[in-house]
Amino acid sequence: MDLRVEKTKRSIINAFLNIRSRKPLEKITIKELAELAEINKATFYLHYHDVYDLSESLERDVVESTLHGIEHPEYIFEKTEQFTRELTVAFSANEQLIKILFEGNRGERFVTLLENGIIALIRQAYPDYNPSMERKMTMTYLIYGGYYTYFKYCDYGLDSIIDVISKFSGKVIEPYGDGKEENKS
């Protein structure tokens, strides 16, 4: 990518994050974004359709970054505590951007995108994976519960949060065994 284009996009993104940290997405205008990024409105439109397009692009990047932090998504049922540790550390690594981009009425969007991404990663590792409805519900519970618990208590110290969330997750999955029987189809 051209260095000027890269610099312009970085300026737009930084301006957007600055404004987004103070305002809901619906209240951000292209005019104020362009002023803060020190570009004209036409330059913004060369890169994005509107602020929603920019936000969704950044949201996808944060979800991808979080997913890359989960080394073993297939461990969700096999080694649940380790999976949960990886998930919680991935939340921590992306915490600031998640808080900015998914604040307010966009909060559930992150965890929905994350769950879909984890399912896709598991299907890559196990193409024939066909979980029961009970397994699907357990997975949702682990992902959503881990997410909301992490962000409610993230100011209390990463190590203690990881330990508690991991222990809870291990207890949730115990009644189901290791799940290997469902990986066979």
CATH of the domain at 12: 1.10.10.60
- Domain check: are 75 and 166 in the same one? yes
Give the pLDDT confidence score for residue 8 in this predicted structure: 94
Give the domain range for residue 12.
3-48
**Residue 173 · residue 138 · CB < 8 Å:** yes
Regarding whether 9 and 79 lie in a shared domain, the answer is no
Residues 134, 179, single domain; the answer is yes
Last residue of a domain, one of 28, 48, 68: 48
Residue 168 shares a structural domain with residue 111: yes
- The answer on 85 and 102 residing in a single domain is yes
Alpha-helix residue ranges (DSSP H) falling in the chain: 3-20, 30-37, 41-47, 51-68, 75-78, 80-93, 95-101, 107-125, 133-153, 158-173, 180-183
Residues lower than pLDDT 70 in the chain: 1, 175-185
- The whole-number pLDDT of residue 177 equals 57
What pLDDT sits at residue 135? 87
- pTM for this model (two decimals): 0.85
Residues 121 and 64 in one domain: yes
Please tell me whether residues 36 and 74 are part of one structural domain: no
What is the domain count for the chain?
A: 2
Do 70 and 160 belong to one domain? yes
Check whether residue 100 and residue 81 sit in a common domain: yes
Q: Give yes or no: residues 32 and 66 share one domain.
A: no
In this predicted structure, what is the pLDDT of residue 114?
Answer: 95
What does the pLDDT read at residue 1? Answer: 65
Q: Which pLDDT does position 7 carry in this prediction? A: 94
What pLDDT score does 30 carry? 97
Residues 151 and 81 reside in one and the same domain: yes
pLDDT of residue 175: 62
Same domain, 35 and 83: no
- Residue 63 confidence (pLDDT): 96
